[in-house]
Structure 1
Amino acid sequence: MASPLDDKTRSIIKACVPALEAHGLAITTEMYRRLLANPDIRDLFNISHQKDGEQPKALALAVLAYARNIDNLGAMAGAVERIAEKHVGLNILPEHYPYVADALLGAIAHVLGDAATPDIMDAWGKAYWFLAEILIGREEQIYVAHAAAPGGWVGWRPFRVSRRTVESETVTSFELAPVDGKPVMRHVPGQYLSFRLDVPGYGSERRNYSISSAPGSNAYRISVRRIDNGVVSDWLHDSVQEGTVLQVSAPAGDFTLGNPAPAPIVFLSAGSGLTPFISMLGALDAAAATGVRYIHTTRTPATEAFGPYIRDLAAKGMLRADLFYSRATPQAAQDATGVTTHAGRMTPAWLTHEIDRSASYYICGPDSFMRDAIATLKAGGVPESQIRFEFFGSAADAALVG
């Protein structure tokens, strides 16, 4: 159990909020520069998120949120759980934390210069290790649970690609079976797998991909969208074939479907944000659920992944679906299965008209899509407790961070 921070430390951290607002991104950028120069820690990070600046920006927002909530850390509980789950997926261990401490404190001293007084450095050292001890404790609980679960494991486990399926012009699914032939841990719908990949010409890469299959004990499926100039997505689409072996950690993540699932449920997604919802729909279908609403935005009919599956579920009366094609211009129409297609993007006005204030909303997609959807739902009277959303990549949008 982490010892509580003393009043002096909390007062100093709060007083640093203006400095973090002005220099937070410079501090986290410098911190990652130091970390990535260290071969003992560099391979734990997604290098793509460093190149596009998303990871330093996301961390800067998280550090600022920590400082702002230093007197009410209960407000950070959700963020702490997300971080712990992500760390477990990437197999972060207690011995990695001192590297981050040295890099963060060094970056604060470097960026703030003479303003980084001994009292400030001491306070941030205490604040860092206070949070680190909470994360280490929670991560240990998750590791123990994974080791004890039927089919569970800790660390990297080899899985073989047993099947490739082209889902759309941009999305391909990969079914993964463990090389040892033993059972796998049943995931909770909405969780993701983390991968340690060796990409020719780029070296070690880490990625997370949502599980798109219903829970089972034999295999998993991920569905990956090809990203323009995406190092890993290009490699998966172009080079990973049936028989390829990949290193995988146990399912992780807290963006999950409740058990029993809340009713009614509305899924709102854009692009590859649908993948966790396909897993959730599989679980709901197995439970003979009805009354689900599925709303998805994609570019064109050619980029629509899992279209036949959604139409099958609609035809059997499990769900009602609305599909928006942002780059196509068909007239709004309903097909024989009850799926309604729309021209253009989903608008706030349309979503407002469709709001069910009794429903639980699950949202996944680009940050801008999630931000607009959440704002529309809140303005329409949906309680915040009934709105859940998942980040793909780094949480780098201030409107979506606690």
Structure 2
Amino acid sequence: MNTYQKELIKATIPILRESGEVLTNYFYARMFKAHPELRNMFNMGNQANGRQKSALANAVLAYAENIENPSVLISVLKGIGTKHRSLNIQPEQYKIVGTHLIASIGEVVGEAATQEILDAWTAAFYQLAEIMINLEKEMYQENKAKSGSWNGWRKFVIKKIIQESTEIKSFYLYPEDGKEITEYHAGQFISIQVFVPELDLLQPRQYSLSSAFNPEYYRISVKKETGIAPNPSGMVSNTLHSKSEGDVVSISSPAGIFHLEKDSKNPLVLISGGVGLTPMLSMLETNLNSIQNKKTIWIHGCRNESVHAFKNQIMEIKKDAGHLETFTFYDTVENDDETSNQIIQGRVDLHKCKDAILLEEAKFYICGPEMFIKAQYETLINLNVSEKNIFYEEFGPQLINLN
């Protein structure tokens, strides 16, 4: 891109701020009409609830704002790239996206989108595409080099299903071919692909691995979302909850940049809301199995005891692990004896356990709904925790960027 083109991109920033989501909404409709097969690759739940459109609008705006130095976005791009790798996104698909995005700019913006502006955005998009393609190429190569790993989709058999709470089931996934599976870092996820009859589509979803690595299987623990019609956001979780032992699903190899740092000796503070406890459980078990046994604070919040998954497992770990301290928050305490079992009534409030969590050089990991993450992050900052020691995982398209 030349200097003049960069200035043209910057000149469109006010339009992107005002009409970014109108543009991305139009873009997706245009692209899916021309390439309906891509509906099998995109999360149609996030299309219906608007999260994907918002995420793309935010990404386009951020790129325009940093067009002089897009390298400052590299950490965000790596997060997008690792998800693309898990979905088996290929370079040729960037051309499809570029064609429809540039056309959408012209059709939505109208006469203000001069040919010079469209040419500038074409150059900008393919600059970004080249960055992403190169990043993802390295990820595919690194993944392929791992023992037991694979790129693309691989069939796994659901050999065991465990009801963990009234809403959450664990699925134990064994490779159908009986061959080796690859190791992963605690906190990472897999993509799973199932056919959803209501949509007549294959649909991918990402689910955190919910246990320490076991060389025989992967485990995911999935919350059944309710109230899905007409929004398809929960159709994959409902489809999974209807599965039986012996059914086969397709999954990608583990991916993700939210995970424990290997060989780190820092104390851990694991903060989760609802089903956000799944990657934390993997971290907790992995730490328990390591020789480090780092001081660990487990903080979890959910609505009540009936939806509290893995409650007994955490209690058993705590009995045997002197390095573990737990704080559990219930919106509603249903039994009087729950408060004697270290249950705190109300939403997660880190001020109520600040004396326990403010450990020197502790690493803080947060996972849960968007507002939950923001609230815990802001509290930690107010408690003078350095942002470099705070890590978070947002389920779905990235809408928040706190550090």
Given the alignment of the two structures, is residue 6 of structure 1 paired with residue 5 of structure 2, yes or no? no
Pairs aligned (count): 391
Q: After superposition, where does 1:64-143 map in structure 2 within 5 Å?
A: 64-143=61-140
Query: What are the ranges of 5 or more consecutive residues in structure 1 without an aligned counterpart?
Result: none
> Which stretch shifts more, 340-349 or 317-326?
340-349
Q: After superposition, where does 1:368-383 map in structure 2 within 5 Å?
A: 368-383=371-386
- Runs (4+) of structure 1 exceeding 6 A deviation are none
3-state SS of 2:109 partner: helix
Letter in 1 for 2:313: Y
- Compute the displacement of 1:173 (Å): 0.3
Partners in 2 of 1:58 and 1:328 — Cα distance?
Answer: 36
- Compute the displacement of 1:329 (Å): 5.7
Given the alignment of the two structures, is residue 18 of structure 1 paired with residue 23 of structure 2, yes or no? no
- Compute the displacement of 1:6 (Å): 2.7
Given the alignment of the two structures, is residue 235 of structure 1 paired with residue 235 of structure 2, yes or no? no
Map of 1:320 onto structure 2: 325
Map of 1:359 onto structure 2: 362
- Compute the displacement of 1:66 (Å): 1.3
3-state SS of 1:266 partner: strand
Deviations 1:100-136 (A, max 9, x none): 0012111111211111111211111111111111111
Partners in 2 of 1:204 and 1:333 — Cα distance?
Answer: 45
3-state SS of 1:364 partner: strand
Partners in 2 of 1:320 and 1:33 — Cα distance?
Answer: 49
**What's the % identity of the aligned pairs?**
37
Partners in 1 of 2:28 and 2:284 — Cα distance?
Answer: 38
The TM-score with structure 2 as length reference comes to 0.93
Q: After superposition, where does 1:282-301 map in structure 2 within 5 Å?
A: 282-288=285-291, 289-301=293-305
Given the alignment of the two structures, is residue 342 of structure 1 paired with residue 341 of structure 2, yes or no? no
3-state SS of 2:36 partner: coil
Given the alignment of the two structures, is residue 31 of structure 1 paired with residue 23 of structure 2, yes or no? no
CA contact (8 A) 2:186 2:282 kept: yes
- Compute the displacement of 1:75 (Å): 2.3
Partners in 1 of 2:402 and 2:6 — Cα distance?
Answer: 21
Deviations 1:242-271 (A, max 9, x none): 100001111111111101135111111101
Deviations 1:156-211 (A, max 9, x none): 10000010011111100000000000110101111111122112232211111111
Partners in 1 of 2:141 and 2:109 — Cα distance?
Answer: 40
Letter in 2 for 1:344: G
Given the alignment of the two structures, is residue 218 of structure 1 paired with residue 222 of structure 2, yes or no? no
Letter in 1 for 2:319: A
Query: What are the ranges of 5 or more consecutive residues in structure 2 without an aligned counterpart?
Result: 229-233
The TM-score with structure 1 as length reference comes to 0.93
- Compute the displacement of 1:96 (Å): 0.7
- Compute the displacement of 1:35 (Å): 2.1
Map of 2:57 onto structure 1: 60
CA contact (8 A) 2:172 2:218 kept: yes
CA contact (8 A) 1:329 1:343 kept: no
Map of 1:198 onto structure 2: 195
- Compute the displacement of 1:218 (Å): 2.0
Match of 1:280 among 280, 283, 288: 283
Partners in 2 of 1:330 and 1:372 — Cα distance?
Answer: 27
Partners in 2 of 1:395 and 1:51 — Cα distance?
Answer: 16
- Compute the displacement of 1:333 (Å): 3.8
Match of 1:180 among 172, 177, 189: 177
Letter in 1 for 2:131: I
Partners in 2 of 1:67 and 1:153 — Cα distance?
Answer: 35
CA contact (8 A) 2:43 2:203 kept: yes
- Compute the displacement of 1:334 (Å): 5.0
Map of 2:231 onto structure 1: none
Partners in 1 of 2:357 and 2:312 — Cα distance?
Answer: 26
CA contact (8 A) 1:41 1:99 kept: no
CA contact (8 A) 1:329 1:344 kept: no
Given the alignment of the two structures, is residue 152 of structure 1 paired with residue 149 of structure 2, yes or no? yes
